[in-house]
Structure 1
């Protein structure tokens, strides 16, 4: 199991499972318990397993919601671009540059938002948010420290994990 994430190494040498928890907080408490027991926690990883994609429908999509969302996106984009452009504009031009960028961004976002909605042909006429959530949280440990981690976790008060031998 090896992965790189922004310069950090998430690599364990021959990882072994030392516990599986239903809640992230329980896995976190187990690692904290091991840290309190002077266990070398740099040999551990908490891994979310049995992933599920959950999509929460937030509302019906219609022309009003599409145009409102397009205007709001245009405002945020226009403010960002407008402030950047205005910072490098001649003195006294800050407000006019900001307003021009804001207006252009709103108009373009409304045009593109309306065109995309019109071309969708009624497919996916709803707004939603998506997230991926794990069903379980597994603590993995370097093979050379796994037995020690399991032994210490057995002594954890109120331990609610499935421990592996």
Structure 2
């Protein structure tokens, strides 16, 4: 049971539910869209921000050295010493609160631990950095019963229609065209005439007979 009308966050990781009402390129734009819905008295507990294509971004802030490691360790230890000193001052019966000694001791221990830690990781990580999880786009989801109202309130802020998950885009590849080969159209191709019988080979004309000679003993020639 939830208190104050707040929905209970599922303990087991589950996919987000709802329809897509807006899409933004940065988290700040998505946050401003939710703030705008809250200003319009919209039930923002029905809204979910979903980041897609997550990336871990590590931004290098500077080069690490022994002086820098000592300074950062001393500052961190001094803050811890101040906190311990304030706790001791609450239960101290003496007139002076041990704030200054606690700050000095905390800073000294912080400096020592920071220098030792840097000496073990030197030449393997000689820089300081900060890490963030960044998404390439942020989608605003809303439950179906209030999705139309959320779209109407977010007009001009990147509102889009559709559902979750978004349908994948498919590209249609045109069919490859076959170039005509030599001697086109080929036999059997559409529009070509059916092949006819082969033409007979050409024969040489008969040689002319010599003129008849009556004095020839073989005259007249015998009939075949």
Q: TM-score range by the shorter chain?
A: 0.7 to 0.9
Q: Is the 8 A contact 1:57 1:126 kept in 2?
A: yes
Q: Is the 8 A contact 1:150 1:164 kept in 2?
A: no
Report 1:112-127 matches (<5 A): 112-127=113-128
Partners of 1:99 and 1:35 in 2: CA distance: 48
Could you list the runs of 5+ residues in structure 1 that have no partner in the other structure?
1-6
Could you list the runs of 5+ residues in structure 2 that have no partner in the other structure?
1-5, 164-224
Secondary structure of 2:135's partner?
strand
| 1:22 maps to 2:25 | yes
Q: Deviations over 1:50-91 (max 9, x none)?
A: 222222211111111111111111211111111111221113
Partners of 2:59 and 2:137 in 1: CA distance: 21
Q: Could you state the TM-score of these two structures normalised by the residue count of structure 2? A: 0.56
| 1:59 maps to 2:57 | no
Query: Which is worse superposed, 27-36 or 106-115?
Result: 27-36
Bigger proportion of residues as helix: 1
Q: Deviations over 1:106-143 (max 9, x none)?
A: 22112211111111142111011222223222111123
Q: Is the 8 A contact 1:17 1:139 kept in 2?
A: yes
* Higher gyration radius (CA): 2
Aligned twin of 2:161: 163
Query: Which is worse superposed, 60-69 or 97-106?
Result: 97-106
Q: Is the 8 A contact 2:49 2:139 kept in 1?
A: yes
What is the alpha-carbon root mean square deviation over aligned residues?
A: 3.1
Report 1:116-155 matches (<5 A): 116-146=117-147, 148-149=148-149, 152=152
* Runs of 4+ that moved beyond 3 A: 10-14, 23-31, 33-36, 38-42, 143-146
Bigger proportion of residues as strand: 1
Which gives a bigger RCO, structure 1 or 2 (Cα 8 Å, sep 6+)? 1
Q: Deviations over 1:19-62 (max 9, x none)?
A: 222134543555536974x7654422223332222222111111
Partners of 1:121 and 1:23 in 2: CA distance: 36
Aligned twin of 2:104: 103
Q: Is the 8 A contact 2:142 2:150 kept in 1?
A: no
Q: Is the 8 A contact 2:48 2:141 kept in 1?
A: yes
